[in-house]
Structure 1
């Protein structure tokens, strides 16, 4: 079997080592700024690997060792790398989450990640976990080859990465996004969708051939719909888990999810066919900045034949494969009743600074002063007390081997893809889309329900609007793990919790390297003590990092919008008064009136009518000059206070 890419420019780079069982693959990477124009529409600054974009693909065999020496050549940003979906058994320090399992790598420093992949296979990926940085290009695929024969046959293996693409840098968009002038939390709008790092890509195929296609959504925001002209997908794996084959015309894939599909090509090579991508439009607040909702790629049988036209379908939204009903292979029974249940409610709301944040149970994640793994390793007998890890890290301490159930109630009107580090989980229940309901419909534990006999297993799952899901996993992988929304904008807003799993085993079996400590020191970050960096009294959180205080009672996002624009209108009104007040302009009132919008003219006319009615009433009542003067003063004073 040959392992090929969809494009000659995306050929896999293997780090100079031969693919063999128990091989060690060493990668020396330097993150640097460069420029690229992946969509052919706009050149912009991107994060490169050793000066190259895109970042290299990794292919290893189950049981191999990966060593990445990551140097930060970015003069203005910290960096990190997380290997998404890899369990990191007893190597929690290399999970790559700043202030959770490591310190950010500051400019001109290097951190070595060194771990094995003993019991996983399929498509994974790596990305920076530092402030949305991977949306600037610091991302790449990882394929782990199974040492056993897969439960399906194929002729050739290919890779497809999907993502949305912005013409602005993330560092430019974050201040605009987390801003009191964006009180509804509207996410930045991408311009296009990329298909293996290009717009409107091509895939050259052979006739009568079965391809194993690894599909990875490496984006930071949008879910995508996929469909092909006159071809079908046979799904055989999700998130590195084999599933019983399921044929479908349409796939819905959120950011961070992966699908393995078989595609069998036709015998006829007289024409070419469209391979379509489409944005999930429900996730967009506006489409004004979108260049193209759909992207038309080509399945090329004959390079001399015309390329395919856009192939639209009316069914792709209603007839998508529902991953909930996929059955893992081999089958696994549903876990017994939970030992520990975590119920968390999703909410997007504003705090006192006017910024829109994301919350689990009214807590928005704020990083601690000490990496949480460092707190575990230095906490001694206090490691099982969740208070050690702070309040705004939203920590939950899990006991060894207990069955943990997480219930997510989504009080938001949008979908959210949630990812669990260090595990795959069983999907016991996912509520339907309640977008049209008058309010959120939470999980009801007392309602009659029968879970699937062999539940779906995966590491990233979306929750429907105003709905819920319920998942379970066994706490058999000691470590500090994130559970978070994988929409990077929502993670920046704080939509995450911390799971401290079996901290006593972490202390007994794990440690951190001197290099790990040196990176913290270079960054000026302590790595011992509680979340507040208190090493004397581990239960004293004085000085810990906390979320912004709450808004005064009664304030809402709409209220903030009204207040902001009222203030702007007031400022502009004052400016107009000053400009016109200092100028001797004939027919001033007529000129100002002519420049008003129809709505403003109507409002002013109504106010004039009310004033005329007031004047008429006053005359009839025989008001004195003193009363008129007093009324005029009060009105002027009130208007002045309003401005």
Structure 2
């Protein structure tokens, strides 16, 4: 009784202390050289790197976004934020909103009820490859570990050419003739620069948020002379786990504790290298290594740099959530997904159950909000090429994802952290009889499925909205490696609304906001005119 009373008091105090955090941002072109090569990048308020976002659990966050690019549409997605009760704020264009046109404005308004390491990025036509991304840290005054100060380290691959041209080439017959491989990044960046320095105090415990904000490959990270203790992954607190190195796929996050040394006589190297196993080949001009420094004394020399080539990475499948949530049982709906790449009339396209994803004429959320009750649960109204699965409230869902491609893929689910029930080694056929759920499965929102292998994920349907499930390699998003989970749309209609300003963004571009995927409001099962062909020359 006393415990319940204390928890209630803490919750009320947290509510009383909650504040509104407002960001007024112009999306602008900036000339920058994060790897030493100058090029136009997409920044915020004429700044690059883009500014970090910070809030405290329980805060209301408002982002007033103005598109000042002049020649590109835009949007923002707050990666890992569930958007519970605010489905219209999730950010992927053609899904929960229309793109923000040049000269247009858009307001994101939501409450953060999750703590940990997150990030934001454009979810529009591969744009974040060009720089529109940054960290989003949500602080927790009641975090289940102690520390003195915080540091955020972002890591990423980087391209010296702009994204629209790279995407157009990737999705071209010319590229398919040479194997259809992804563009190879020119370099790696840490804190969106080279040789970043992080000043530290002696005998101090730091909570370090490490975030892979890249668009293609995973990264290895090591801090010389310091043991890291994992305490959070993708917004999920974990039992403490000491490690020497981290491996982060694109879009994954880790929070680790380090305690600095009492001796300030030397500084220490932070090594980061891209996972070049994901490259089709390694050209001589590609530089997969980048370095940073823990600086104890700025008057002391920086250590010599040595490329990280020996890997000793802890298997994240072994991590145990701090809350020790047990594996969900009694699965109500199993979703079987096979993924691969095919030659589609000379172009390399991704397929989910043999269908390539194509955004529909009406954004999927708008179809769900405008559909009559007798058809809103019918997946057909959302369009064949949306790869939609409709879920009922309170169901337990199991996703079995089978990778028939020859590469690893980091899959991300919007709106949830999933339980990772199984992850096979590479080149392992799926057999239901081989699945033995761990008692307390690891949870996160991005997980890798290995070449020729499979993953089994479970989650509860408790967040009505439109949740994308996609590979987070941005080249593969543009190639159509996406499915759509329509989560309790019947409940969504009764509990949420879309702001008037969001409708105006669509109307200003002639994008319909009612009807099925084709915009048909008379016969909801008539999909004549729905988008089935992918764009070949319309990025940026």
TM-score (norm 2): 0.94
Which string of whole-angstrom CA distances, capped at 9 and with x for unpartnered residues, describes residues 236-268 of structure 1? 100011100000111110111110001111222
Instruction: Tell me the residue number matched to 1:116.
Output: 111
CA-CA distance at 1:310 after TM superposition = 2.3
What SS does the corresponding residue of 1:432 show, helix, strand or coil? Answer: coil
Instruction: Tell me the residue number matched to 1:523.
Output: 509
Write out aligned runs for 1:207-246 (5 A): 207-246=202-241
Instruction: Tell me the residue number matched to 1:460.
Output: 446
2:298 to 294, 303, 313: 303
Which string of whole-angstrom CA distances, capped at 9 and with x for unpartnered residues, describes residues 572-631 of structure 1? xxxxxxxxxxxxxxxxxxxxxxxxxxxxxxxxxxxxxxxxxxxxxxxxxxxxxxxxxxxx
With 283-292 and 206-215 compared, the bigger mean Cα shift is at 283-292
CA-CA distance at 1:380 after TM superposition = 1.1
Q: Distance in 2 between matches of 1:182 and 1:534?
A: 37
CA-CA distance at 1:301 after TM superposition = 1.9
Instruction: Tell me the residue number matched to 2:43.
Output: 48
Task: Check conservation: 1:366, 1:547, Cα contact below 8 A.
Answer: yes
Q: Distance in 2 between matches of 1:290 and 1:504?
A: 53
Instruction: Tell me the residue number matched to 2:352.
Output: 360
Write out aligned runs for 1:257-276 (5 A): 257-276=252-271
Write out aligned runs for 1:290-369 (5 A): 290-312=285-307, 315-316=310-311, 319-352=312-345, 354-369=346-361
Q: Distance in 1 between matches of 2:209 and 2:135?
A: 10
Write out aligned runs for 1:408-447 (5 A): 408-434=401-427, 441-447=428-434
Q: Distance in 1 between matches of 2:295 and 2:45?
A: 32
Are 1:395 and 2:381 matched, yes or no? no
Which string of whole-angstrom CA distances, capped at 9 and with x for unpartnered residues, describes residues 95-151 of structure 1? 00111101011111111111111x310111111001111111111111111142x22
CA-CA distance at 1:50 after TM superposition = 1.5
Q: How many residues align?
A: 518
CA-CA distance at 1:526 after TM superposition = 0.4
Task: Check conservation: 2:273, 2:307, Cα contact below 8 A.
Answer: no
The structure where helix makes up a greater share of residues is 1
Change (3 A) 1:504 1:362: same
Change (3 A) 1:277 1:450: same
2:246 to 225, 247, 251: 251
Are 1:474 and 2:460 matched, yes or no? yes
Q: Distance in 1 between matches of 2:309 and 2:78?
A: 37
TM-score (norm 1): 0.79
Instruction: Tell me the residue number matched to 1:28.
Output: 24
What SS does the corresponding residue of 1:515 show, helix, strand or coil? Answer: helix
The structure where strand makes up a greater share of residues is 2
Are 1:543 and 2:538 matched, yes or no? no
Instruction: Tell me the residue number matched to 1:134.
Output: 128
Task: Check conservation: 2:408, 2:450, Cα contact below 8 A.
Answer: yes
CA-CA distance at 1:314 after TM superposition = 5.1
Task: Check conservation: 1:431, 1:469, Cα contact below 8 A.
Answer: yes
Segments of 5+ residues of structure 2 without an aligned counterpart are: 1-14, 536-540
Are 1:405 and 2:429 matched, yes or no? no
What SS does the corresponding residue of 2:386 show, helix, strand or coil? Answer: coil
Instruction: Tell me the residue number matched to 1:281.
Output: 276
Instruction: Tell me the residue number matched to 1:104.
Output: 99
Are 1:512 and 2:498 matched, yes or no? yes
Larger Rg computed on CA atoms: 1
Change (3 A) 1:290 1:152: farther
CA-CA distance at 1:235 after TM superposition = 0.5
Change (3 A) 1:85 1:345: same
Instruction: Tell me the residue number matched to 2:34.
Output: 38
Write out aligned runs for 1:3-82 (5 A): 21-39=17-35, 41-82=36-77
Segments of 5+ residues of structure 1 without an aligned counterpart are: 1-18, 435-440, 550-643
With 47-56 and 331-340 compared, the bigger mean Cα shift is at 47-56
CA-CA distance at 1:306 after TM superposition = 2.4
Q: Which has the higher contact order (CA 8 A, sep 6+)?
A: 2
CA-CA distance at 1:185 after TM superposition = 2.2
Q: Distance in 1 between matches of 2:487 and 2:62?
A: 25
Which string of whole-angstrom CA distances, capped at 9 and with x for unpartnered residues, describes residues 59-106 of structure 1? 111111111111111111110001111111121011001111010111
2:474 to 488, 495, 501: 488
Change (3 A) 1:530 1:52: same
Task: Check conservation: 1:363, 1:394, Cα contact below 8 A.
Answer: yes
Q: CA RMSD in A?
A: 1.5
Task: Check conservation: 2:273, 2:308, Cα contact below 8 A.
Answer: no
Task: Check conservation: 1:413, 1:466, Cα contact below 8 A.
Answer: yes
Q: Distance in 2 between matches of 1:195 and 1:312?
A: 14
CA-CA distance at 1:154 after TM superposition = 1.2
